[in-house]
A and B are shown apart, each in its own frame.
Chain A
Amino acid sequence: VPCSAVTLCHGETLCVGEENWVDSRTVYIGHKEPPPGAEAYIPQRYPDNRIVSSKYTFWNFIPKNLFEQFRRIANFYFLVIFLVQLIIDTPTSPVTSGLPLFFVITVTAIKQGYEDWLRHKADCSINECPVDVVQQGKVVRTQSHKLRVGDIVMVREDEIFPCDLIFLSSSRYDGICYVTTTSLDGESSHKTYYAVPDTMAFRTEQEVDSLHATIECEQPQPDLYKFVGRINIYKDKEEPISRTLGAENLLLRGATLKNTQHIYAVAVYTGMETKMALNYQSKSQKRSAVEKSMNAFLIVYLCILISKAVINTVLKYAWQWSPDRDEPWYNHRTEIERQRHVVIRAFTDFLAFMVLFNYIIPVSMYVTVEMQKFLGSYFITWDEEMFDEELGQGAQVNTSDLNEELGQVEYVFTDKTGTLTENNMEFIECCVDGNVYIPHAICNGQILSAASSIDMIDSSPGGYRRDLFFRALCLCHTVQVKEEETVDGIKRGIHQGRPTSFYISSSPDEVALVEGMKRLGYTYLRLKDSYMEILNKDDEIERFELLHVLNFDSVRRRMSVIVKSSSGEYLLFCKGADSSIFPRVVSGKVEQVRARVEQNAVEGLRTLCVAYRRLSQSEYQEACHHLTEAKLALQDREQRLAQAYDIIERDFVLLGATAVEDRLQEKAADTIESLHKAGIKVWVLTGDKMETAAATCYASKLFRHSTQILELTKKRTEEQSLHDILFELNRTVLRQRSISGLSVDCLDFGLIIDGATLSAILKSNQEGTSHGNYREIFLEICRNCSAVLCCRMAPLQKAQIVKLIKASKEHPITLAVGDGANDVSMILEAHVGIGIMGKEGRQAARNSDYAIPKFKHLKKMLLVHGHYYYIRIAELVQYFFYKNVCFIFPQFLYQFFCGFSQQPLYDTAYLTLYNISFTSLPILLYSLVEQHVTMESLKREPSLYRDIAKNSLLRWPVFLYWTCLGVFDAFIFFFGAYFLFDNTTFTSNGQMFGNWTFGTLVFTVLVFTVTLKLALDTHHWTWINHFVIWGSLLFYVIFSLLWGGIIWPFLNYQRMYYVFMQMLSSGPAWLSIILLITVSLLPDVIKKVLCRAICPTATERAQVLFCASNCASILPPVPYRGAVHHLHAFPVLQQNEFLIGPERQERSRKRR
C-alpha cells in the first residue's frame, strides 16, 4: 500500500505514490459541490451500478450470434462450401450441405439464446437488489443499479457491498469493520478495514450526510489489493483537510460485512467499473486432449481433401487435353461455358471437386460430439453411487467439454483439509502435565494403554494446573457465540436442551477446542462488556475481564489473550503450534508434553500447545504500553505489533497440549490406492504443517511404510544449500532407479516439500541459471516419486505447482480437487478441476468443471466415468473419420471412370442423409452407452486405466490404422461393384443397370459395412444398441424402397426411380453385397483377433476374465491366472497396509 491511512498531506502537495496514478477521478461525496474557490466543480459522468454479464440484446442477437458462430472454423468451412454450391454449378445441390448447417446453427443459436436469457435474468435480479442510500439525512431504499458514484451507502451486517466503497464510518467505535472476501479471492478469514479517521466519528445518517468532501482517486484498476486516493474534507471556511486513502479504506463489491452492525461508505467505483467486474473473466476455455487430436485429424483431412481436389483437377485437364475427350460430339458445352477463361474453369472445377468431396469433413461430427458430451454428462449427474445422502446432492457437471479428459488424468492434485479429511474437527484429547484427558472417556484399556484415563471427578494431583488449562482454552480464543440464529459461514450447532447456540469462528479448530472443553466441564458462555463468562464444572459462572487479544497470525503461529481474573490476577494465556511455544517455555513438564504432542502428530492429529504466564501489575502495564504504542503507530504498524507480541509472549509456563482430529474422508485411502494403481500420481497440496500433513498422507496410504521419504523443507535448506539438496536427492532417485532397473519391487519415493522451498526453487529460475535449472531437477525428482506432499502452500502456490507440472515436457493432464476457496486457483489452473461440495462454502464447486460430494467419488469419476467417456469419444472420433473415408473415397475413385467430371456416385438424398440419419444414431448411442469392460471390473482393477493413458486411442498410428481401413474398404466397395458391372448384365432378364444402380450398390454395401463395423466394436449390446443398429439398417432399406418407389412430384429428376428395387431383384447383387461386406470387415476382425491372441492388453484380459465368469457358455473357462492372481492381491495388501490407518479409524469409531 503506497499511502498509509493516517498520513496527512495537504491539498497542494502530492501524496506518496500519487504521481503514479494512471488517471484520476474526482468523486463529490453526496453530490455536493466543493466550496467555491477550493477547486473547480467538474461534474463527471460515470456508469451506473448496473452489472451486465449478458452477451446479447433482443436486437443484436441474430447478427451477433451468427457472427460468433461463423467465427468457429468448422462452421465457417461449411458456410463457404454452402456458398460455393450456391454460386457455381456444382455436382451436388446446395441443400446437401445447407440443410445440416442450418440445423446446427439453429440449434446452437437456440441454446445460446436460452443461456443468455438466463444471464439476463440473473443480471436483473442482481441489479434490482435493494440498497440503502443516505439522501438528505435519511436512509432511502433503492435498487442496486440506481447507485451512482458519490452516493453514500449504508451496509448492514452480512450484506454484500453493492459497489466499491470508501469506508467512512462504522457502528463500532474504533472505526473498523470486518469483511470476508471469500467470493472475491477465496480467503475466508475476516479482514479488517479502517474508516477514514476524520469521518469515523459519524454515527447517524444526518452526520454522514453533512459531510462535505471530495475524493480524488485513480481510475478503476483490476488489481484487488491496490488503491490510491485522497479525500479532501471541507469544513466551514477552513483549509480543506486532505488524507490519503489506501486499499484498507476501500470496501470491494462482492465482499461481505461481518461482525459489524452497519457502516456508512461512499461509492467510488460502480457497475462494470468495480474491481470485481473488472476481474470478471469467463472461465478460460479448457480444451480436452481429445479435442486437440480431433482438430489435428481435421487438418489432416482438410489436406487430404484439398489434395484430392487438386489431383483431380490436374488430371481432368490432362485427360481432356484432346478436344474429342473434352467435348465429344454427343456432349457439348453451352456457349457461355465455352467462352469462359480456362483458368476460371479450372478454378471452378477445383471448387466443384471440393464440394464433391467435402463430406469427408462432416458437419454432423461436431453435432454428434457436442450431443455426446452434453447427453453423456447426464450419466455423472444420474449416478446414484455418487449421490451423498448427507448433503442430499449428487455429482454435478458444470462443463461437459471435459468428460473424456477424466479418463486421461496423470496427476491428481488434492487439497488435504476438507478433501482428504472431513474438515470436521473433533476434540480428541488433551494432555496436562503428561496426564491425558479424553472427553466422554469410554475407557478402552487395550487401545489407550498409554493414556491414563482419568475421570473428571477424580481430583488428581496437579488439579490447579488442570483447571487453569481448561480455563485457558475457554478464554484463549476468538470464538463468538450466536444464539438461535441461522449463521452463515461455518455452522457448529450444539443442542443444550435450551435454545440452540452456536460457536462460530473462522478457525474450526478453535470451535472444536471450546466444544471439547464444554464436554470436559468448562463451558464458555459469552463475551459481555469485555467480560468473558465461563460456566465451570461446579456450575458456577466465572468472569474474566478481557484486556487484550494478541491475534493469531501465520508467522507467529500462536495467539494470546491477557485477562484479569475476578481475583485481580493478570493472566496471559497463549496457545499455538508446538514449535512456536516450546522455545518460549521456562517451566512445566515439557518433556512429557512434547512426547505426547509428537505421538499425536504422527497419528495425524492437529496439536496445539497451551501455556500461560502470570503478569504482575507492572508487567501488565508495560505490556499494555507496548501494545498501545504499537497499535497507534503511524508507520510499520504490523512490524511494531509483532515486536510487541514478541516481547510480551515469553517466559511461559507450559500447561499442556490438545489434540484435535480431522478425520479422514470415508474411503480416502482406498481411493488414493486405486488412483495409484491406475498410474496416476497423487500430490497433496495443503496449507497445513508438515507433520500433520505427513500423518494424513500415511493414513490415506499416499505414503506406505515402504516409501522412502525425501524431504525438501525449509528446515533442511537452512542447513544445506538448496542446490546441494536437490542434487543429492536427484542422485538418490536416479541411483535407485538404475539399481532396481525393471524389477517390479521398485522402492517408491515420497517427496515432501514446503511452500518456502518451493518458491525458492521457482524463483531460482528467474534469477538466472548460475546454479543450473532447479526447476528441471525438481521436476525430475518429482517424476520419480510416486507421491508428493506439498505443505505450507499458499493458494497461489498451489496453482503454481499445477502450472509447473502442466508445463513440464510431457505435458501431462492434471486434475485438481479441492473443496475450499483456497483451491479455486488450482482448480481453474488444472486441466480438469473438481470441486468437493464441502463445508468451506461452494466456491470450489462453483468454479470447478465437475463437483462431487466426497473425495471417494473421485474413484468412480475417473476410473469408471472417465474411462468410459474416453473410449466412447475416441471411438466416436475415429469412427466418424473412418465412415466418411469409406463414404467419399469411392466417389474419388469414380472420377477416374467418369472423365473427372465431378459426377457424384451417390444420389443427393444419400449424400445428405448418410451422415444425418443412416449412420448417425448407432455411433451416437454407442458413444453414450458403450461399456467395453464392466463397471465392476473397472473399479476392481484400476490398472485398466493405464491402457488408455496418454491419449492412446487417438494416437497417430491408431488414426492411420482407421484411415487405412477406410481406404481399404472404399477400394473394396468400389472395385467390387466395378467388376460386377464390368461389361455384363447381372439380371435374369438381360436388362442393364445404369450408373445410379452402381452408386446404390456401393452405397448399400457402405452403409451395411460401416454399421456392422460399429457392431463389431460394440462390446455392450443393450436393447438400445440392437434397436438402433438394426433399426438404422432397416431404416436405410425402407427409405431406399420409398425413395425409389414413387415419382416424387417435387423433384426435377427421377433418377432413383425403382433403382433400389431392381437391384434387389437381382441375385448376384445380393451375393456381391454379402461378399463385399465380408471382405471389408475381414481385416478388422483379423486384426482384433490377432492382437488379442498375441499381445492382449489388460483391458482385453479383463473382458475375457469377465466373460469367463459370466458367460461360460461362449468361452471355455480359460485359466487366466495372471488376472485372477491380481484380483486376489487386494485383500493381501490390506493386511500389510500401514498400521496407523485402520487403527486410527478404529479408535475414532469407538470414541464416537
Chain B
Amino acid sequence: MIQNDYITCRELIGFLADYLEGRLTEEQRHEFDRHLSVCPSCVNYLDAYRKTVALGRLALTPSDSSAQGRAPEGLLQAIKSARRN
C-alpha cells in the first residue's frame, strides 16, 4: 500500500454529500481531509457546495415565518366544499 497515494478529486466530490451527513467511516474521512489539505480546488468545491445548500434553503423558505403556518381561508373552504360535492 502506498501511503502517499491520495484519493482523486472525483472520489472526493463523490463523497461530499455523505461527508456532510456524517456517513463516512473514520478512514474515509481521513482520506477526504488528506486530499483537502493538498487540493485548493476541492476546498473551494466543498465550500461552494455547502453554500449552495444554504442558498437553496434560504431562497425557498418563506421569509415571513407566520405565512408558513397559515393557508388562505378561501382555499380551505374550497377544499372542504369540493369534497362534499
Please say whether chains A and B are actual partners in one complex: no
